Amino acid sequence: MSLLVVGSVAYDGIETPFGKTDRILGGSATYISLTSSYFTDDVNLVGVVGKDFAEEDIELFKSKQINLKGLQVDNSGNTFFWKGKYHYDLNNRDTLDTQLNVFEHFDPVIPELYRDAKYIALGNIEPSLQGKVLEQVNNPALVVMDTMNFWIEGTPDALKKTLKSVDLLVINDSEARELADEPNLIKAANKVMEMGPESLIIKKGEHGALLFAGGDIFSAPAYPVIDIFDPTGAGDTFMGGLLGWIAYTDDLSTENLRRAVIMGSVMASFCVEKFGPERLKNLTEKEIFDRYRDFRALSQIPEIS
């Protein structure tokens, strides 16, 4: 089923305790699209890049059958650039440079052909832009949105307005607590869902994720990754695995949402193994399904007789 992906396409400069790269493909729409392309051939990307965007990166998207009709090329400037450095424990990072470039005036225009998309992934961009996307689409079955503390603090009104039209929100635990102004995560989840989203996923990094859907709570484990090389894009990759699986199965049951959360976790666990989206370029079906089984084994609670 068709998946519309709206978000940033960028270049990142990344330094981790294990290595450094001056310029690598990045952005939320990039990670979501690349990841979901493992599950469906109907991925439709909407974003903007500048005059410096490399032909090889266009080719990468094309090689994954990602539709680029909605990828605007703005020759008035360069592609969005972000540079950051991770601390020793990889849980914190400093932003060293942010150049919005052509992304500053990004106006997400959804091509006519994409407006009937069944599933919509709103990558982490300004909430009013996310809202603008939703005004242009016709009756999607599921709208999934990501956001961050920058918008929770900076544009709370626009965020809350957009949230009313979102079905499933994906945020991390500190964002959930901040958005709800509530330290207890379960209470915070309930407060966030009162703002609009019927379902909610709270990502907890090394502690896994929680899914709240249909009155049910699902606790997903984290994969015990010993060598996290670069956490960049892990959250977007999670969203890509989640929505890729949903688009592939076309099944919104609570049970299948659990599978989708694990598939998101599977893909994110691969992402962090190498720089940027490197690891997402050549995964095999076997690797993906084997790791899904690893997740099952990891959290299997034996019955008691």
Note the residues at the interface with its own copies (CB under 8 A): 88-91, 183-187, 204, 206-208, 210, 217-222, 224-226, 228, 255-256, 258-259, 262, 289, 292, 295-296, 298-304
Q: Are strands 66-74 and 43-50 parallel, antiparallel or unpaired?
A: parallel
Nearest to 205 by CA among 92, 36, 84, 37: 92
Q: How far apart are CA 75 and CA 57, in angstroms?
A: 16
Q: How far apart are CA 237 and CA 264, in angstroms?
A: 7
Closest to its own copies by CB, 90 or 195: 90
Closest approach of its own copies to the CB of residue 4, in Å? 24
Residue 151 falls in which region: left (phi positive, over 0), alpha (psi -120 to 50) or beta? alpha
Closest approach of its own copies to the CB of residue 221, in Å? 3
Cα 197-289-245 angle, rounded to 5 deg: 25
Q: How far apart are CA 31 and CA 121, in angstroms?
A: 11
For residues 34 and 63, is the Cβ–Cβ distance under 8 A? no
Closest approach of its own copies to the CB of residue 209, in Å? 11
Q: How far apart are CA 192 and CA 190, in angstroms?
A: 5
Closest approach of its own copies to the CB of residue 244, in Å? 13
Closest approach of its own copies to the CB of residue 284, in Å? 16
Closest approach of its own copies to the CB of residue 69, in Å? 32
- Percent of residues in the chain assigned helix, strand, coil, to nearest 5: 40, 25, 35
Nearest to 165 by CA among 197, 199, 122: 197
Closest to its own copies by CB, 60 or 202: 202
Closest to its own copies by CB, 66 or 170: 170
Closest to its own copies by CB, 122 or 209: 209
Nearest to 142 by CA among 161, 172, 177, 170: 170
For residues 31 and 236, is the Cβ–Cβ distance under 8 A? yes
Closest to its own copies by CB, 142 or 266: 266
Nearest to 243 by CA among 71, 35, 63: 35
For residues 50 and 101, is the Cβ–Cβ distance under 8 A? yes
Closest approach of its own copies to the CB of residue 156, in Å? 22
Closest approach of its own copies to the CB of residue 167, in Å? 21
Nearest to 71 by CA among 95, 100, 50, 96: 50
